[in-house]
Amino acid sequence: MLGLSIRGQPVTGPCVTGGWRARVAAFLGREVDEQGTRTSGVLISWLREHFGHCPQDADAETVGHYCRAWILHLFACVLFPDGTGDTASWMWIHCLTDWHQAGSYSWGSAVLSFLYRQLCEACRRSSGSPSVGGCVYLLQLWMWSRLPVGRPEIMPRRPWFPDEPPRRQPTWAYIWDQVKVSHTRLDRAYLDYINEIDALTAHSVNWQPYDGDDPLPFPLSFVCVQDDDIYRMVCPLICFYAVEYHLPQRVARQFGMRQIWPPQSDLDYVDRKKKRKVSDWPAFHQAYIVEWEQYEQNLDENNEPHTNSAYRHYQSWYQGATRHRLREAWTEDDYADIQSSDDEDTVYDQSTRGGRQVEAGPILDRM
Whether the predicted pLDDT of 42 surpasses 90 = yes
pLDDT band at 341 (very low <50, low <70, confident <90, very high): very low
Q: Which residue has the higher pLDDT, 121 or 111?
A: 111
The answer to whether residues 260 and 34 touch, using CB atoms and an 8 Å cutoff, is: no
Whether the predicted pLDDT of 340 surpasses 60 = no
pLDDT tens-place string over residues 232-241: 999 999 999 9
Helix axes 60-74, 20-28, angle to 10 degrees: 120
What is the per-residue pLDDT for 22?
A: 93
pLDDT tens-place string over residues 246-274: 999 999 999 999 999 887 765 555 666 66
Whether the predicted pLDDT of 74 surpasses 70 = yes
Lowest mean pLDDT among 242-256, 303-317, 321-335: 321-335
pLDDT band at 367 (very low <50, low <70, confident <90, very high): very low
What is the per-residue pLDDT for 115?
A: 96
The answer to whether residues 175 and 210 touch, using CB atoms and an 8 Å cutoff, is: no
pLDDT band at 154 (very low <50, low <70, confident <90, very high): very high
Q: Which residue has the higher pLDDT, 17 or 8?
A: 8
What is the per-residue pLDDT for 23?
A: 94
Lowest mean pLDDT among 69-73, 236-240, 340-344: 340-344
CA–CA gap between residue 292 and residue 234 (Å, rounded):
9
Average pLDDT taken over every residue of the chain: 88
Tell me which residue of 75, 98, 105, 101 sits closest to 5, measured CA to CA.
105
Q: Kindly state the average pLDDT of the residues 222-243.
A: 94
Q: Kindly state the average pLDDT of the residues 118-127.
A: 84
End-to-end CA distance of the chain: 38
User: What's the whole-model pTM score?
Assistant: 0.89
Query: HSE-up of 204 (CA within 13 Å, CB side)?
Result: 12
pLDDT band at 335 (very low <50, low <70, confident <90, very high): low
43 phi, psi to nearest 5 deg: -65, 135
What is the per-residue pLDDT for 107?
A: 97
Hey, what amino acid is at 142? W
Query: HSE-up of 123 (CA within 13 Å, CB side)?
Result: 6
What is the per-residue pLDDT for 78?
A: 95
Which stretch of DSSP H or E encloses residue 317?
helix 308-321
